[in-house]
Amino acid sequence: MGTPKKLEWEEKYSVGVKLIDDQHKMMFATINELLDAVNTSPTKEKLHGIIDQLIKYKKFHFATEERYFEEFNYENTKDHINRHNIFNLKLVEIQKKWGDNNLSLAFDLVDFLEDWLIDHLMTADQEYKECFKAHGLK
């Protein structure tokens, strides 16, 4: 586990749909905001505020993708939703561990979020690109 760095958007992360790219960019920005906070001895309230925001936003984002999967009868729907759900469970697990030592946990959280998001963008999210394009999304 290294020291997390700020996420930077790259064209290779694009799924070819502006609405979804914008949501992914928003997730990058929120994770970067969390990293900034972690690096400046934040109050508990500040940390919790950003994490709550992140959790609400990822819920909204997953719902956007999953709504299109259903609408387009996307072939990998089950597997993709499963990946989202595993991520949700992992977050709940981290939140449960959240006690007094939340700063070191916050570093681990940023590390986990960055790894997960980049991996998910480059694998599962890339896989729906063709399907979404074929249904006219852009």
- Closer residue to Fe ion in complex, CB, 7/37: 7
C-alpha distances out from residue 121 to 17, 30, 91, 113, Å: 13, 16, 18, 12
Site for Fe ion in 32-71 (CB under 5 A): 65
Minimum distance from residue 80 beta carbon to Fe ion (Å): 6
| Binding flag, residue 125, Fe ion (CB under 5 A) | yes
Residue 4: burial class (beta carbons within 10 Å; 0-12, 13-18, 19+): buried
Query: What's the min distance (Å) between Cβ of 103 and Fe ion?
Result: 28
Question: CA-to-CA distance for 90 and 86, rounded, in angstroms?
Answer: 6
* Sign of the torsion formed by the C-alpha atoms of 76, 27, 57 and 51: positive
Q: How far is the CB of 47 from Fe ion (least distance, A)?
A: 24
Stretch near Fe ion under the rule CB under 5 A, chosen from 41-49, 85-93, 99-107, 118-126? 118-126
Size of residue set near Fe ion by CB under 5 A? 2
Q: Which is nearer to Fe ion, 76 or 102 (CB)?
A: 76
Q: Give the N- to C-terminal CA distance of the chain in Å, as an integer.
A: 36
- Write out the residues near Fe ion by the rule CB under 5 A: 65, 125
